[in-house]
Amino acid sequence: MKNQSSAVKTLKRHWPLYIMLAVPLVYIFIFRYITMGGIVMAFKRVDLSRGLYGGDWIGLKNFLDFFKSWNFWRLIQNTITISFSFLVLAFPFPIILAICLNEVRSQKFKKTAQMITYAPYFISVVVVVGILWQLLSPYGGIVNNILGLFDVSPVNFMGVPRYFVPIYVISGVWQGMGYVSIIFIAALTSIELDLYEAAKIDGVTKLQKIMYIDIPSLLPTIVIMFILNMGSVMNVSFEKIFLMQNELNRTVSEVISIYVYEQGILRSQFGFGTAISLFNSVINLALVFLFNTIGRKVSGSSVW
């Protein structure tokens, strides 16, 4: 009874916070948990004339059809190539940016740099891709105009397959680096000042301070962020890929999310599309468990 009374008092005292918490919880429950009932479509030949979940039960046939499809390995290869390229190249930049900003002593410059690097995150993906098309256009694009000054013929960057992944990764780093760095900046602010003062007395250089104080203090956050990123390795951004894709770069831009859209929505193969999406989610979940276990054993840090 005492614990119950204490809980009621806490609820009454902090009820605005609980209401704020209820909004995202309701959203997650409706759009993340209730919709999981649609997974059953992956094991059916969906017939909408018999209802959304109507149709004959066909077991794993949708999965087997996907595994046997002629472009299965190309989809897997393209998805993994884009995801790992982005993870390997984009993951270190927010850490480097956070460490650099942590070393800045001018608060005015620090806030200005944070605003400049953080602002691109609020730009719509549609706008970002539109900017890319304008910059890289072979007909008057800024990049090709600069190359023209050196007598280089115009290049259709968005149509050359080998340029697709670098353009996707570089633009992604530019857009998301400032936002992600906030997490690492917050972790750096929690470092005890006594460590910096002791290091200063010992005469360590800035590089030594970063190597022996900043990075070890960031390691738990780095491990957790890496585990969470591994959980979305197979989920390449559909919107950005869809907007950047064309017939010339389709060989490298055809990824699982695009294939799910084409099969599940455009061709109305709802069961087949659901099966592909479920397969994708299972792979991501397995990667989270795998790297969470590795992180816990190697560094002692993990999501759970």
Tell the burial category of 154 from Cβ atoms under 10 Å away from its Cβ (0-12, 13-18, 19+): middle
CATH of 77-251, one of 3.40.50.300, 1.10.3720.10, 1.10.599.10, 3.30.200.20: 1.10.3720.10
Of 152, 164, 158, 178, the residue nearest 97 (C-alpha)? 178
pLDDT band at 3 (very low <50, low <70, confident <90, very high): low
Q: What is the pLDDT of residue 268?
A: 85
No. of H helices and E strands in the chain?
A: 16, 2
- The residues spanned by each domain of the chain are 77-251
254-298 confidence digits (pLDDT tens): 999 999 999 988 888 888 999 999 998 888 889 888 888 888 887
134-159 confidence digits (pLDDT tens): 999 888 889 999 988 888 888 899 99
Q: What is the pLDDT of residue 255?
A: 92
pLDDT score of 1 more than 80: no
- The answer to whether the CB of 75 falls within 8 A of the CB of 255 is yes
57-80 confidence digits (pLDDT tens): 888 999 999 999 988 999 999 999
The DSSP result for 47-87, as a single string, is -GGG-TT-EEE-TTHHHHHHHHSTTHHHHHHHHHHHHHHHH
